[in-house]
Structure 1
Amino acid sequence: MELPKVGSLGEYIRQQRQQAKISLRQLAAQAGVSNPYLSQVERGLRKPSAEILNQIAKGLHISAQALYVQAGLIEDRQPDSDVLTAIRADVTLTGRQRQVLIDIYESFRRENRADTAQPTQPAEHLGDDPVLPYDGVTPQTREG
């Protein structure tokens, strides 16, 4: 996940807060920290713990992993897919809508990685769920 390059974690948090149209006071309340503390974080004067970063991420409706990477707490190993980049770049969505889409997308990716990690066994049924033709009639009931 390639994050936009900014000077610091604090600048990144401020950028995300402004993009979400949340005041410093609102974010501080949602994150359970004082206004002065959050202001100091945004100015690079304080380095928040992972727990505080998690609360800030929740308040911003972004992934905590994005803040952990920006803070240097974890290494960013997997590049973003074009889907994630598009979701994050879509300014017509609210922060909450973007996060829900990202969460759903990531859950599908985790599920598929788990499926490919399992030993292959003979499938009882092949393919995905049946797809009905556009008229809603299954091939077996169609008269021809």
Structure 2
Amino acid sequence: MAKGKVGKTVGSLGDYLKEQRVSARLSLRQLADQAGVSNPYLSQIERGLRKPSAEVLQQIAKALRISAEQLYIRAGILSPDDGVGGSVELAIVSDTGLTERQKQSLLDVYASFLALNAADSADEDSSTGSSAEADPVAEVREDAPTNTETDSDAVANEG
């Protein structure tokens, strides 16, 4: 079956889009016109053959008068488990100053940082050593002068 080419999330996205389009009583052609995409492209999205960009999803959401965030989740751009509504991801995908390729690169880097931090957190939980040794921020804080040191240096420089 052709749906398997792009992935499960896109298939459910296509089904969801079709359901929303039908409930809005719009033809495929009408929605395509309102969203500013071609009729065949929208058809391919609905059938799960194409994965639309965040920008296209935003246009479709606007035309259907539904939440773009919901489409991002269904497309796999956002995770529903992202805590505060995926604010970082939403900021990236809604930034008009970035190209789609740049947006995807930032999303990939962000996801890799989250995965790395989760793995580091799991490692710290399983080890008995101090986590401050592996924390560069903690090392910087330890080396930073305290307020009393800074104040005494300022007094010494005044004299």
Q: TM-score, normalised by structure 2?
A: 0.44
Q: Could you say which structure has the larger radius of gyration?
A: 2
Higher relative CO (Cα under 8 Å, sequence separation at least 6) belongs to 1
Q: TM-score, normalised by structure 1?
A: 0.48
